């Protein structure tokens, strides 16, 4: 445990930011899972809405530094392929 006041504050802010990033990352993963569930259940209309939301969350994750831009692009591409296969 730090003794210096600035170090104590830094530890508090680091923990607070870590918790915030964890919730954002979790929301991102949840939106992807919801889309995949809709695809498995053959819900075309719902899948379209959820795909848009998942892509939006992935893009936000990139802008906030939660996920690398190439990783997000890869995930979005795979989700899009699943959506096309569902409608095709």
What residue spans define the domains of the chain? 5-87
* 50-67 residue pLDDT tens: 999 999 999 999 999 999
Give the pTM.
0.86
The pLDDT of residue 1: 82
Q: Superfamily for 5-87? A: Ribosomal protein S20 (1.20.58.110)
Who contacts 88 (Cβ-Cβ below 8 Å, separation ≥6)? none
Cα Rg, the chain, nearest whole Å? 18
Q: Quote the tokens at residue 81.
A: 């392929």
Q: Classify the phi-psi angles of 4: left when phi > 0, otherwise alpha if psi is within -120 to 50, otherwise beta.
A: beta
Kindly tell me if the per-residue pLDDT of 19 is higher than 80: yes
């Amino acid at each position: 445990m730090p003794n210096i006041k600035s170090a104590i504050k830094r530890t508090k802010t680091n923990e607070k930011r870590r918790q915030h990033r964890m919730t954002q990352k979790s929301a991102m993963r949840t939106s992807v899972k919801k889309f995949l569930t809709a695809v498995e259940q053959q819900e075309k209309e719902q899948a379209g809405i959820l795909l848009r939301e998942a892509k939006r969350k992935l893009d936000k994750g990139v802008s906030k530094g939660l996920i690398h831009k190439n990783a997000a692009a890869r995930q979005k591409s795979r989700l899009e392929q699943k959506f096309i296969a569902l409608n095709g």
